[in-house]
Structure 1
Amino acid sequence: MKPFITLILAVALASCAYRIDIRQGNYIEKKDVDKLRQNMTKEQVAYVLGKPIIEDAFNKDTWYYLYHVNYGDGRPDRRIELTLQFDENKLQDLEGSIDKPEDFEKSLDL
């Protein structure tokens, strides 16, 4: 009888185990994307968003930011994608899960 009770307690405790969130990629927030402006250099973009998780080996002017979180509490997974296009080391366009900033076309160049 004692081994049976021990087994039941072990199974009950295992089902209550805490599951952590699994986060992968570049953590991207809208407030950071809103800081991006057309004609920013790659260095300026990397300062704001960090280095991209993927740099296209065949096209050095395309940067990919990906963020994926698998919530341990059962919520649906979340995935954010952002693709940045550069021309001659200057940011030209962005697209992805986060909308382009309202002031994106207001270049930092004066």
Structure 2
Amino acid sequence: MGKPLFSLTLLTSLTLASCSTILNNLPGVYTVDVQQGNMIDQSMIDQIRPNMNKRQVLYIMGSPMTTDAFHQNRWDYIYSNQPGGEARMQKKITLFFDNDRVVGFQGDFKPSALPVIKESPETTVDLPPREIEKTLWEKITGLFGIDSSTESDSVNSEPKSERGINNPDTPMN
């Protein structure tokens, strides 16, 4: 009775131990990509310059993954990616501050020696001038046959001599 029970226990423990290996290698089984931390790339590191204040670093890098209560002048950024159950890739960078200014950093990235040239994704488009539509008042008066814009334009378009202004031949009332 002891030998079959031992064999069954051994077989069960080996089967359970190999479940994760078997399930991970089955075709068609979907495994989730696991991303944790702050996404860090080289373009972000290239924008960091000495003497930047903490607010500028927050704008570029985001909030740090860990801040130490004992080291207020040290920010740690950690990014971990495990695509589809494969081996985990981890990147880390630590920024050091003195008087709220960047004095250095260390980690898996190196700053670029080239100047930062960040092209703007925004474009400028010149629009052609549009014809200004009539105002609401001009539309209403146009319905009744009173077109104030043509009357005022016709009065103003006449030469002053024809309207009787500064014309000696026109009698004054």
Report TM bin, short chain. Answer: 0.7 to 0.9
* Structure 2 equivalent of residue 30 of structure 1: 42
Question: Where is the helix percentage greater, Structure 1 or Structure 2?
Answer: 2
Query: Structure 2: which amino acid aligns with 1:95?
Result: Q
Aligned-residue CA RMSD (Å): 1.9
Higher relative contact order, chain-length normalized (CA < 8 Å, sep 6+) = 1
Structure-1 residue corresponding to 2:127: none
Correspondence list, 1:67-86, <5 A: 67-72=79-84, 74=86, 76-86=87-97
Q: How many residues align?
A: 91
For residues 35 and 16 of structure 1, the distance between their equivalents in structure 2, rounded to whole angstroms, comes to 42
TM-score (norm 2): 0.49
Preserved contact between residue 36 and residue 101 of structure 1 (Cα < 8 Å):
no
For 1:67 and 1:46, how far apart are their aligned partners in 2?
16
- Among 54, 60, 79, the residue aligned to 2:72: 60
Identity %: 31
Corresponding residue SS for 2:47: coil
| Structure 1 residue 33: Cα displacement | 0.8
Which ranges of 4 or more aligned residues in structure 1 deviate by more than 2 Å? 100-104
Alpha carbons 1:22, 1:71 under 8 Å: kept: yes
CA shift at 1:27, angstroms? 0.4
The 3 A distance-change label for structure 1 pair 103 and 84 is farther
Structure 1 contact 20–72 (Cα < 8 Å) conserved: yes
1:100 aligns with 2:103: no
Residue 77 of structure 1 aligns with an amino acid whose one-letter code is: R
> How many angstroms apart in 1 are the aligned matches of 2:66 and 2:112?
22
Give yes or no for the alignment of 1:48 onto 2:60: yes
Q: CA deviation at 1:15?
A: 4.5
Unpaired segments ≥5 residues, structure 2: 1-22, 116-173
Distance in 1 separating the partners of 2:104 and 2:112? 11
